[in-house]
Structure 1
Amino acid sequence: MTASDATWIAADWGTTNLRVWAMSASGTVLAAATSDDGMGRLARDAYPAALDRLTADWPRVPVIACGMVGSRQGWAEAAYTAVPCPPLSDNLTPAGDRTHIIPGLKQASPADVMRGEETQIAGFLALNPGWDGVICLPGTHTKWVHISAGEVVSFQTVMTGDLFAAITGHTVLRHSTAAGWDDAGFAQGVEDVISRPEKLAARLFALRAEGLLDGLPDATARSRLSGLLIGAELAATKPYWLGQQIAVIGAGTLAGLYVAALAAQSAPATQVNADRATLAGLTAAYRRWKDQT
């Protein structure tokens, strides 16, 4: 089978990129394509053309989309569904003549929202029926999600990725954390802060001072900074993950850092491929949509 046999298109439409997959009815990927036509660079009336450009050689079939395409600044705002609830809503938001957008989730107290992660959660649960526990989704804004009986019970967002980028790019530590990596430095950062997270701000400047006075390598300082921030995050989210079954959805180094930091706290976590979870969630949404049409 080739892309010409596609019966629907899966789309992960984020802030910076659009990723699409030509799909068979059974959920097999027939082809894939990516562009930089993310939400952040598109006016509302530019979405249809961006989608058509990327899928010009594919059949004009229904599209199931997740991510920031459904935000207030996106193609069509897909209203949030309130937790506790299943990660996928039965009510997809139409956009254009063939696209259907998966709504995000909201939490009233403490106030929180997610958009895009609900699809990965749904995909993980589709691949792991009956799973209960806590799902961590690392990223610029990391999500910690409590799952019970197939529902998202509650969740918490932590801006660790944003903080790391801001500190390394816009503070004095930009002179001390240029590049490189040191696993031991990361582990030390986690250990230094997790039991006393209130000392985080003071620990940060010590990285600069150690570089000036003791020649602390940039790679070690950068890694320790990451460890300090993730350690503080683990301290803040301990009520979520302590004593729970934990899955970390994410590819590559960042997800691995969370797995390593949790392991150091005697909290083993399973790392899950993010693309596989996303596609499984989009497939689940397509099947539910198809059953209703």
Structure 2
Amino acid sequence: MNTEWIAVDWGTSHLRAWAMQGRTVLDQARSDAGMARVGKDGFQAALLALVETWLADTPVDVIACGMVGARQGWVEAPYGAVPSQPLPDAPIRVPDTDPRICAFVVPGLKQMAPPDVMRGEETQIAGFLAARQNWDGVICLPGTHTKWVQVSAGEVVSFRTFMTGEMFDLLSGQSVLRHSVCEGWDDNAFVDAVADTLSKPEQLAARLFGLRAADLLHGQDKGTARAQLSGLLIGTELAATRPYWLGQQLAVIGADGVSQIYATALKQQGAFVETENATAATLAGLSLAKDKVNS
């Protein structure tokens, strides 16, 4: 296999890598060696354990995005300040690497007021915009920490982060609701819950406990409760982001499942939404970052 370069998406929980020839994927691999599980001196070993079979004697460029560039990461890649292009600067070189690799990390973006930061999403935004000349609008990037990003004239103008995904995980796994929520889904229950908190976000805390009470008193299906929990949290998020998405051209970039959930919620409010797969956007963005290394 003739690996020309290696694309890496290194988040808090997972490490994903792709052996690349130009913009074609030759092979891919992933592990649970996310930043949260790797010590400061363990990043190179974690990467080599995943990609060593792709390496040869000639050094291969490794282009990485995500939390690997955080202060606790492999090398700190300073944030670029918005408004700016998604990838305003060349990736930062990682010093003293194995001679078989030349590793580079893509910098994230920061917003001074209100204070906010992103790492990894800037690469997806760059990849999305590369295929859409003169695209202006708002991009939603759902996940553990969902981003809402205003884009104009090829630049990230502003953004906000919501801890909706993390709140869902905490509430469904560590709160009293863990007894009333399990795998399963109910589309109608989700849509109704979104509409409920979108119109009355101040009722969120009471609506959440109502999921537990509905289980105790009425034996409500736990999959229905899961859909309601998601809908309640996303509805509150949509209430807060209304100035971002109302009347705007919208795109959702994320894993297929969560992207469809957000798209469904937005379409119920009359919004027109296109979706883009997060992996495709990430690889397109990392390809652009590689071009900056070689320019």
**Is residue 195 of structure 1 aligned with residue 186 of structure 2?**
no
Residues 186-240 of structure 1, C-alpha deviation per residue, up to 9 Å, x if partnerless?
0110111111111111111122222222222111111111101100000000111
Q: Note the C-alpha offset of 1:174.
A: 1.5
- The number of equivalent residue pairs is 287
**Is residue 53 of structure 1 aligned with residue 49 of structure 2?**
yes
Q: Distance in 1 between matches of 2:45 and 2:177?
A: 42
Q: Secondary structure of the equivalent of 1:43?
A: coil
Residues 111 and 172 of structure 1: is their aligned pair in 2 closer, same or farther, counting only changes over 3 Å?
A: same
User: Identity over aligned residues, as a percent?
Assistant: 58
| Structure 1 equivalent of residue 68 of structure 2 | 69
Structure 1 runs of 4+ with >4 Å offset: none
In 2, are the aligned partners of 1:80 and 1:104 still within 8 Å (CA)?
A: yes
Q: Note the C-alpha offset of 1:38.
A: 1.7
Residues 242-282 of structure 1, C-alpha deviation per residue, up to 9 Å, x if partnerless?
11110000122211110000000001211111110000000
* Letter aligned with residue 87 of structure 1: P
In 2, are the aligned partners of 1:90 and 1:289 still within 8 Å (CA)?
A: no
TM-score normalized by the length of structure 2: 0.94
> What pairs with 1:1-293 in structure 2 (closer than 5 Å)?
2=1, 5-24=2-21, 26-59=22-55, 60-96=59-95, 97=97, 98-291=102-295
Residues 49-84 of structure 1, C-alpha deviation per residue, up to 9 Å, x if partnerless?
222222222233111110111011111111111000
Q: Secondary structure of the equivalent of 1:44?
A: coil
The CA RMSD measured in Å over matched residues stands at 1.3
* Letter aligned with residue 288 of structure 2: A
Residue segments in structure 2 that go unaligned for 5+ positions in a row: none
In 1, are the aligned partners of 2:81 and 2:111 still within 8 Å (CA)?
A: yes
* Letter aligned with residue 35 of structure 2: M
Q: Note the C-alpha offset of 1:6.
A: 2.1
Residue segments in structure 1 that go unaligned for 5+ positions in a row: none
* Letter aligned with residue 233 of structure 1: E
Q: Note the C-alpha offset of 1:160.
A: 0.5
Q: Distance in 1 between matches of 2:48 and 2:215?
A: 52
Q: Secondary structure of the equivalent of 1:19?
A: strand
* Letter aligned with residue 264 of structure 2: A
Q: Distance in 1 between matches of 2:257 and 2:49?
A: 32
Q: Pick which of 89-98 and 100-109 moved more.
A: 89-98
Residues 111-134 of structure 1, C-alpha deviation per residue, up to 9 Å, x if partnerless?
000001100000001122221100
TM-score normalized by the length of structure 1: 0.94
Q: Distance in 1 between matches of 2:182 and 2:16?
A: 30
* Letter aligned with residue 15 of structure 2: L
Q: Pick which of 199-208 and 223-232 moved more.
A: 199-208
